[in-house]
């Protein structure tokens, strides 16, 4: 009986009932450098990196009820220094195109990933969005957190530089991504910005997109953003990094 998996939004017939992770990675990334292949859990809540040495079975590709889990590629992420994108500019006037792209992506994301939540977003500036109850992985405390994205003025050409969670969140031991300030020129790097984060109860989560691996679509129309890296891509990265200690 043919074995199928949902890869980058399309059903793909696989070579056998046991598929090595390296083969899934090749399907998902197309062999392109700078991309990382991830798979959602069977609840469709969290993403983890595909292990190239593991053999995946049919049960790994199905949610309860039979619907397929998502396998997709995302930009490679790195810890910092010269490997990351420039941080960009924050809380300055942005272009009409940037504002329209962010607004459309936020609205689309709200309806698909966070339906029913009262997401905070200012469609006059496009600077930030806040998810009030982002579900944290197992082993974290509490079970949910507020989560904030700060969009650089250069978005979508530049991705966000990390993200922000409530300062009361407790991560699993050895999870070394959370800081009281930002680094690599992200918002929260200067003393004044650090004070503002502290006042508002945020901490910075270090999650950098590797330089050269963020590929937004070329826009002839605003809706063309769907054909490249976008806010959905970045939330896939968020889920993957929070489910990992590296």
- DSSP letter assigned to residue 228: S
Measured between alpha carbons, how far is 220 from 209 in angstroms, rounded to an integer? 25
Measured between alpha carbons, how far is 70 from 44 in angstroms, rounded to an integer? 7
DSSP, collapsed to helix, strand or coil, labels residue 214 as: coil
DSSP, collapsed to helix, strand or coil, labels residue 47 as: strand
Q: How do residues 27-42 score in pLDDT, each as one tens digit? A: 898 888 889 999 887 6
Q: How do residues 111-127 score in pLDDT, each as one tens digit? A: 988 988 999 999 999 99
Q: How do residues 138-153 score in pLDDT, each as one tens digit? A: 889 999 999 999 999 9
Cα–chain center distance at 22: 22
**For 162-220, where are the E strands, in sequence order?**
163-166, 178-179, 202-205, 208-209
CB atoms within 10 A of CB 195: 12
CB neighbour list of residue 77: distance below 8 Å, 6 or more residues apart: 36, 207, 208, 209, 210, 237, 240, 241
The pTM (predicted TM-score) of the whole model is 0.89
């Amino acid at each position: 009986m043919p074995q199928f998996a949902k890869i980058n939004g399309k059903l793909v017939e696989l070579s056998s009932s046991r598929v090595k992770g390296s083969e899934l990675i090749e399907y998902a990334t197309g062999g392109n450098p700078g991309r990382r292949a991830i798979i959602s859990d069977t609840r469709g809540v969290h993403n983890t990196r595909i292990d190239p040495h593991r053999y995946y079975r049919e049960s790994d590709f199905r949610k309860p009820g039979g619907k397929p889990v998502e396998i997709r590629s995302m930009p490679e992420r790195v810890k910092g220094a010269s490997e990351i994108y420039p941080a960009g500019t924050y809380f300055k006037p942005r272009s009409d195109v940037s504002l329209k792209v962010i607004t459309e992506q936020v609205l689309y994301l709200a309806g698909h990933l966070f339906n029913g939540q009262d997401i905070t977003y200012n469609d006059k500036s496009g600077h930030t969005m806040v998810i009030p109850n982002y579900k944290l992985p197992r082993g974290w405390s509490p079970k949910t957190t507020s989560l904030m994205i700060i969009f650089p003025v250069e978005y979508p050409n530049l991705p966000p530089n990390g993200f922000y969670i409530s300062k009361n969140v407790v991560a699993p031991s050895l999870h070394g991504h959370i800081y009281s300030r930002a680094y690599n020129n992200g918002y929260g790097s200067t003393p004044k910005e650090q004070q503002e984060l502290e006042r508002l109860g945020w901490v910075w989560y270090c999650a950098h997109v590797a330089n050269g691996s963020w590929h937004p679509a070329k826009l002839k129309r605003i809706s063309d953003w769907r054909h490249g890296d976008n806010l959905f891509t970045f939330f896939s990265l968020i889920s993957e990094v929070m489910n990992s200690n590296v």
